[in-house]
Each structure stands twice: as structure tokens, then as C-alpha cells.
Amino acid sequence: MTILVTGARGNVGRRVLDRLHAAGHPLRASGRVPGDLSVPRGVEVAELDLTRPATFDAALRGVDGAFLYAEPDGAKELFEAAARAGVRHVVLLSSSTVSGPAAATDPLAAHHAAVEDALAASAVPGTVLRPGAFASNALGWSHAIAAGQPVRIPFADAHTAPVHEDDIADAAVAALGDASSAGRTITLSGPRSITFREQLAVLGALLGREIPVHELTREEAEEEMGRFMPAPVLTSLLDQWEAAVGRPAEVHDVAPVTGRPGRTFESWAREHLDAFTARS
């Protein structure tokens, strides 16, 4: 009855691991470099690189259920190996981009859709979680905020409904514990639509100071963000944000899945305030 948690040091994966451990499940945590994993006492550790089929069989041996990050290279082989190992339920962390308005041209949507399709075509029962923008994306502003510098962003009035990673982990654990969720696709969001500027105002109120915003033009954002993001991904992201200016994001209540109301961006910001504070 072992549950495998891939990406066990990831933002969501670690939370899934901790919840399953607290509930007393036999667990196997995996990573590409298992030696880097620090896991609770009693949790097995395995090497699993989702792009390397040679690592699949050993990581899946004796596994009943699995929490999975989406990696298209090797997905077909992974689900074949899972079927061979007798895995009875996979919960896949996908993305709401798959059903978004730009799904046909969005590389992020294609990345996640390829894994969803491989799961659907396999013999392994699966539940697909499609979260929208993570609240933790705000950590991208932490360096500037901690340094007291303006936050440089395009489309500051674009809306998202940021979802707390604890809600995604709660949904994953609920799905793993509910065999009847197999075959379902569940879209997840935070409880309210909020603009980037409003997120920064929430952080500013908690920090007790105004956070200056320097709004970039699209061209400036292409130049600055293009230094660390592939062009097709950046183009798609900027298109989405541009279309979301002044347009509230759809809200998908997590409560029917997790049994509790979705956590707000304010609660996320309160919990992560240290990341936005200058270190001496």
C-alpha cells in the first residue's frame, strides 16, 4: 500500500509527503538526486527521473498510488511501468493552462496536456489536478521587495485567482484517498480574483510600507524577462496577462475537494512574510 511522491522536495510535493506521513501512510519519496532529499523518519527514498525510463521500475515496485509532476518526456513509458507495477491510482499535478483560452498555442499547456493524454491512454486510473497561478509566484518579487526596490512587472492590473500550495496538496491527498476520483479532472484556484497590484498592496500592508510598482511595457518585459525565460513561454504568459487586465479570473472553489474553504492570498502572504523582509 506504498504511496510514491515524486518531486518530494518540490513546493507541492513536499506538502503532499508531509500530509500523507502525518496520516500514517507507508511512503516512498523520489527525486532525481535522492541523496538531496530530507524526508520524515520511516519514509523510503528512491531515485526517479521522469525523463529516464531506466529509473522507473525500481521506483514503482510495490507502489499502490502515486503523486506525479508532469514531465512529457518519458510519460508514456512511465505509465506503462506503473501499469506493470500494479499502481492503482495516479494523481497528476497538471495546469489550468490546458483548458485556458490560449491552450492551442501555449507551450505550458502543451507540456501538461501531453502528460494528461498519456495518462488517459494508459491502463492506470488517474485524477488530474489543474491548478491556476500559484500564490508562491509572488516569491518572484521577494528580492526587490526585501531590498526596498520597486517591483518591475508588466500588466500590473492583470487578474489571477492565486491558489495556496497547501490547497493543492490537500486536494492531491484527498484525491489519493478517494478511488472514485479516478477519471476526474479537477480545476483549482484561490478563493478570489485579485490583480498583481492588489497582491503587492496586501504584501505592503503586512510589511507596513508601500511597495512601489514600476509597470513595464510589453517590450520592456520581453527584454527583461527574456533573459531567463524561453521566448515562446514568455510570449504566452504576456498574452495571458494582457488579456487578464481588468478581467477577473475564474474562481474554482476547492472546498468540494478538500473539505475546507480555499486559503486567501493574504493568508499565504502572512505565512511567507519573512521571504519579503531584508536580512541583516
Ligand X SMILES: NC(=O)c1ccc[n+]([C@@H]2O[C@H](COP(=O)([O-])OP(=O)(O)OC[C@H]3O[C@@H](n4cnc5c(N)ncnc54)[C@H](OP(=O)(O)O)[C@@H]3O)[C@@H](O)[C@H]2O)c1
- Shortest separation between residue 43's beta carbon and ligand X, angstroms: 14
217: Cα separation from own chain's centroid: 27
Q: Which is nearer to ligand X, 99 or 137 (CB)?
A: 137
- Shortest separation between residue 89's beta carbon and ligand X, angstroms: 19
Give dist(CA 144, CA 214) in Å, integer.
11
Q: Which is nearer to ligand X, 128 or 133 (CB)?
A: 133
Footprint of ligand X (CB under 6 A): 6-7, 9-13, 31-32, 48-51, 69-71, 93, 95, 131, 133-134, 137
Beta strand pairing call for 2-5 and 27-31: parallel
81: Cα separation from own chain's centroid: 24
Give dist(CA 75, CA 56) in Å, integer.
10
Q: Which is nearer to ligand X, 128 or 211 (CB)?
A: 128
- In DSSP terms, 195 is beta-bridged to 159
- Shortest separation between residue 29's beta carbon and ligand X, angstroms: 9
Give dist(CA 66, CA 260) in Å, integer.
23
Give dist(CA 262, CA 209) in Å, integer.
27
Q: Which is nearer to ligand X, 198 or 212 (CB)?
A: 198
| Residue, CB closest to ligand X | 10
Q: Which is nearer to ligand X, 9 or 152 (CB)?
A: 9
- Shortest separation between residue 233's beta carbon and ligand X, angstroms: 10
- Shortest separation between residue 97's beta carbon and ligand X, angstroms: 7
Give dist(CA 131, CA 185) in Å, integer.
10
